[in-house]
Structure 1
Amino acid sequence: MTTYTAINLIKHHQGGHVDPSIFEVVEKTIPEVAPGQILVKQSYMSLDPAMFGWMTPDMNSYIPPVALGDVMRSSGIGEVTVSNHPDFTAGDRVMGMMGWQEYYLGDGKGLNKVTADLPDESILSVFALPGLTATQGLFNVGKPQKGETLIVTGAAGSVGSIVGQLAKADGLRVIGVVGSQEKADWIVNELGFDAAINYKSDDLAEQLAKAAPDGIDVFFENTGGPIQNMIIDKMNAHGRVVVCGLISDYHSDTPAPGPSWLNVIKRRITIQGFTMPDHFHKVPELLEKLTPYVMTGKIKHRTHVLEGIESAIDGLNLFATGGNKGKLVVKL
């Protein structure tokens, strides 16, 4: 085979349903590998909610948007097939930002070797962006303490499920907010969460009061939505809010109003937004922190696998519908 498939972003995403016309599927010739470069054959690509921001023209963000005509940005995992780089050899497993393409050519910058004896889809589900984001956000921003209560929205998602399990392993009471009874059952019965709340219920305030009788100390926010204000109302003094994502606002022209500043003042709440690109230099130490939890069986996951590179286009819409069960990845 001398060619491979890639998908370029050719129009900006305008919100709402992802229109396939914003992408262009192209065939490219497998390139020659120059000195200092490596060629990687990707096996799996990751789909993440952050992509909705990357597809807009917004330059006032934590990372520049994908330029029109460029390969769509994503993290992935694969095998080095050709190496003219002293730090890599053919056969090395690597993960990093490689984009929506079957082959990746680069200088190795930003790629990390994978040594854990786990399948590729498991590595991408746990040790790539989801696990790194959960580890950085929980431990270095949320600063949880044993005996505290943590609530995480999007609790059945790739980041939220890991956040909850890490917190539970460290002795916290953990509450997860999800969008279906199936997901509620999964995080409680399989992952060990103490309680689950379906945000589509009519009695959210009552459920929250029952799940957090001693208030909430750490709020790991992935979704936004009406329950956000109720959670802030239940925060204890000196609570910490980790704002990681707001998937409910990614498809809206007008973001929902945030919680009252009065609660922030009265309870001396610390609120911090964070994104992983600020912390990519910490990847080795974050992996060192996360790995023991995974290898001792304290972190479980499930992966929602889509087949074929073009499935990534419609796959993005699963984030809006909540139709994915577990970490969304694309098998190439």
Structure 2
Amino acid sequence: MTTFTAINLIKRPQSGVIDSSIFDVVEKQIPTIAPGQVLVKQNYMSLDPAMFGWMSSDTNSYIPPVALGDVMRSSGIGEVTVSNHPDFVVGDRVMGMMGWQEYFVSDGEGLNKVTAPLPDESILSVFALPGLTAVQGLFNVGKPKKGETLIVTGAAGSVGSIVGQLAKAEGLRVIGVVGSQEKADWIINELGFDAAINYKTDDLDAQLAAAAPDGIDLFFENTGGPIQHLIFDRINAHGRVVVCGLIADYHNEVPAAGPSWLNIIKRRITVQGFTMPDHFHQVPELLEKLTPYVMAGKIKHRTHLLNGLTSAIDGLNLFSTGANKGKLIVKL
């Protein structure tokens, strides 16, 4: 085989519509690598909500948008097939930002060796961006304390599910907000959450009152949406809000209005947003923090696997519908 498939972004999505018209599926020649480079065959590719921002035209963000005509951005895991780099040998399993393509050429920067004896799907589901994001957001931003009450939106998602399990392991009461009864059952019965709220049901305020009788100390926000206001109304004095994602607003030209600042003043609430590119230099210490929980069996996950590179196009829409069950991964 002398060619491979790649997918380039050629248009910006309009009104949140993700379909084949904004991408170009191309065949490329497998390159001859130069000194100091490696050729990686990507085996599994991660799909993440952040991609909606990467495809937009917004240049006032934490990372530049994907340039039109470039390979769509994504992280993945694969195997070194050719190496002219002193730090990598053929057969090394590696992880990094490889993009929507079957092969990837790298000078080694941002490429991390994978040594954990776990399947590729587990590595992408736990030790890649989901786990790193959960650790950074919960511990370094949220600063949880034993006995506190945490609520996490998108609780059955790749990040939210890990946040909740880490918080439970630290002795917090954990409430998860999800979009279906199946997901509610999963986070309670399988992951050990204390309570679950399906935001598509009625009487959300009453459900919050029952789930958090002593109020909420820590709010890990992944989704946005109307329930955000109800949660804010129940945050205790000196509570903290960790803003990781707002999937409900990614398709809106005008974001929904946020909660009133009156509560921030009256209850002295700390609100902090974060993004992982600011913390890539901390990956070794974040993995050091996460690994003992995983090895102790305290972190469970499930993978929603799609097959074939082009399945990524329609697969992105699963984030908007909430139809994904677990970490979205494409098998190449």
TM over 0.5: yes
Structure 1 residues 27-80: Cα deviation after superposition (integer angstroms, max 9, x where no partner): 001001110001100000000000000001110000000000000000000011
Separation in 1, partners of 2:164, 2:145: 13
Pairing 1:87–2:87 present: yes
How many aligned residue pairs are there?
332
Pairing 1:302–2:325 present: no
Aligned counterpart, 1:147 = 147
Pairing 1:98–2:98 present: yes
Matches within 5 A, 1:177-256: 177-256=177-256
TM-score normalised by L of structure 2: 0.99
Superposition deviation, residue 295 in structure 1: 1.1
Partner amino acid, structure 1, of 2:267: R
Separation in 1, partners of 2:144, 2:111: 30
Superposition deviation, residue 15 in structure 1: 2.9
Superposition deviation, residue 14 in structure 1: 2.0
Separation in 2, partners of 1:164, 1:15: 32
Superposition deviation, residue 308 in structure 1: 0.1
User: Could you tell me whether the CA contact under 8 Å between 1:15 and 1:250 is conserved in 2?
Assistant: no
Aligned counterpart, 1:161 = 161
Separation in 2, partners of 1:251, 1:56: 10
Structure 1 residues 295-327: Cα deviation after superposition (integer angstroms, max 9, x where no partner): 110000000000000000000000010110000
Partner amino acid, structure 1, of 2:234: K
Over aligned residues, Cα RMSD in angstroms?
0.6
Partner amino acid, structure 1, of 2:116: A
Aligned counterpart, 1:70 = 70
Structure 1 residues 139-167: Cα deviation after superposition (integer angstroms, max 9, x where no partner): 00000001100000000000000000000
Superposition deviation, residue 202 in structure 1: 1.1
Separation in 2, partners of 1:32, 1:8: 21
Separation in 2, partners of 1:161, 1:311: 24
Separation in 1, partners of 2:153, 2:290: 20
Separation in 2, partners of 1:15, 1:251: 6
Aligned counterpart, 1:40 = 40
The secondary structure found in structure 1 opposite 2:96 is strand
Separation in 2, partners of 1:191, 1:101: 34
Question: Which runs of 5 or more structure 2 residues have no equivalent in the other structure?
Answer: none
Aligned counterpart, 2:137 = 137
Separation in 2, partners of 1:295, 1:192: 17
Partner amino acid, structure 2, of 1:135: V
The secondary structure found in structure 1 opposite 2:209 is helix
Q: Percent identity?
A: 84
Superposition deviation, residue 116 in structure 1: 0.5
Superposition deviation, residue 20 in structure 1: 1.5
TM-score normalised by L of structure 1: 0.99
User: Could you tell me whether the CA contact under 8 Å between 1:46 and 1:74 is conserved in 2?
Assistant: yes
Aligned counterpart, 1:283 = 283
Q: Which moved more, 1:7-16 or 1:162-171?
A: 7-16
Aligned counterpart, 1:274 = 274
Superposition deviation, residue 254 in structure 1: 1.7
Aligned counterpart, 2:260 = 260
